[in-house]
Amino acid sequence: MRILVIEDDPDIAAGVEAGLRRAGFAVDVVGDLQGAEAAGAVNDYDTVVADRMVPDGDAIDLVEEWRRAGDATPVLFLTARDAVADRVDGFEAGGDDYLVKPFALDELVVRVRALCRRADRSGPTMIEIGDLVVDRARAEVRRSGVLLTLTAKERCLLGFLADNPDRVVSRSELIEHCWDDANDPMSNVVDVHVGSLRRKLGEPQPIRTVRGVGFVLDTAPVGG
């Protein structure tokens, strides 16, 4: 899942970015509304975490613009403006949640995860393909009833492949969904993580490599 953070305070931005990355999210950080507009024009985000007041204006104005354009991406306002009227303004502008500074990073991560689930942009909460069960609500993957120890990135990759069974998913699609702009799209980062995921899934192997194109999660894997 990919998160956009709009925050002009370098220390807060770095802390939020690090916390969300540790939780398994891909994160892009911008320091103003212009940067947010540019990022939103080229990337699809599962949730936006927005400081209300940044150098070039109030993030409420940008969210209202997005809502008028039909963009329903969840937005969590992260701000020092704690008056009831400020919170009401945020919700009326189309915000989905409001967290006042100073805040607990663990709470922010939980709220962002809840917004991503509520938006349902990544498909159903639970997917069953043969003996493979992907449970997003519990952040668990089981095969033949056995709980697998996967990293957050491996769960993200598997979840996206499970949303598109029997379809070749390109490396660029996987990078767009599970990574962020800090990653070099020409690197072998996808192959490394998919390779690790395949080893953990075992045989019969459900993930098939289509050379030069991408990967497929087969609903009827063969071999073993």
Q: What is the pLDDT of residues 78-108, one digit of tens each?
A: 888 778 888 888 888 889 899 988 899 999 9
Rounded mean pLDDT of 4-20?
A: 95
Confidence band of 43 (pLDDT split at 50, 70, 90): confident
CA dihedral angle for residue 23, residue 138, residue 120, residue 163, rounded to 10 degrees:
100
Name which of 23-27, 39-43, 105-109, 180-184 the model is least confident about.
180-184
Confidence band of 224 (pLDDT split at 50, 70, 90): very low
| Beta strands per DSSP E along the chain | 2-6, 26-30, 47-51, 53-54, 57-58, 75-79, 97-100, 126-129, 132-135, 140-143, 146-147, 169-170, 207-210, 214-217
pLDDT for 142 beyond 70? yes
Q: What is the pTM of this model?
A: 0.62
pLDDT in tens, 58-82: 999 999 998 888 888 899 998 887 7
pLDDT at 17: 94
Confidence band of 182 (pLDDT split at 50, 70, 90): low
Fold of 126-217: Arc Repressor Mutant, subunit A (1.10.10)
Name the average pLDDT for the chain.
Answer: 87
pLDDT for 38 beyond 80? yes
Domain ranges of the chain: 2-119, 126-217
Please report, for residues 139, 166, 207, the alpha-carbon distance to residue 131 in angstroms, rounded to integers and kept in the order given: 17, 16, 13
Q: Are 97 and 74 in contact (CB under 8 A)?
A: yes
Query: For the domain bounded by 2-119, which CATH number is listed?
Result: 3.40.50.2300
